[in-house]
Amino acid sequence: MDEFEGDPTKLVGDVDCTAEGKPLCEQFGVKGYPSIKFGDVADLEDYKGGRDFDALKAHVETKLVPSCSPANIDLCDDEKKAEITKFQAMPTAELEALIAEKSAENEAAEADFKEAVAGLQKSYEAMQKAKEDKLEEIKESGLGLMKAVSKHAAKAAKDDAKDEL
């Protein structure tokens, strides 16, 4: 935070989500700690990069720059300007309904992913148990004794070879 203090284009802040910052964290969907968010305050994104100083500094210097948005329309290409203009022209209720629809799609994609991961976890656990059962069956079939007999025979053969010399 000290590195960018006073920079008019980069705000790097710290919020304690367990104290007075809790409502702010809830507003922006902070679910785990530590969390790093970046971007336009109206649409913050989760930071997924490195957590060391150099990685964070590089991210701030390259990503926390003015970008295309309704507040910086001059930075937009013609396609984005048209999209912003279209959304600005929509009645508030229609825009809110579209936001709700897309947010629901986001939540459904997250739910589908979590469900699939849960299925994978169950499959993994079943495969792990099957492997452990098979390894135990192999062990119980005498593998350890077979190895011991083999090593003993090899040692005996080596000792016999020494005796012949």
Give the predicted TM-score (pTM) of the model: 0.52
pLDDT of amino acid 87 = 96
pLDDT of amino acid 100 = 96
Q: What is the residue extent of each domain of the chain?
A: 2-89
pLDDT along the chain (165 residues), means of 10: 74 81 85 79 82 87 80 90 96 96 95 96 96 94 92 88 74
What's the 3-state SS for the chain? CHHHCCCCCCCCCCCCCCCCCHHHHHHCCCCCCCCCEECCHHHCEECCCCCCHHHHHHHHHHHCCCCCCHHHHHHCCHHHHHHHHHHHHCCHHHHHHHHHHHHHHHHHHHHHHHHHHHHHHHHHHHHHHHHHHHHHHHHHHHHHHHHHHHHHHHHHHHHHHHHHC
pLDDT of amino acid 165 = 66
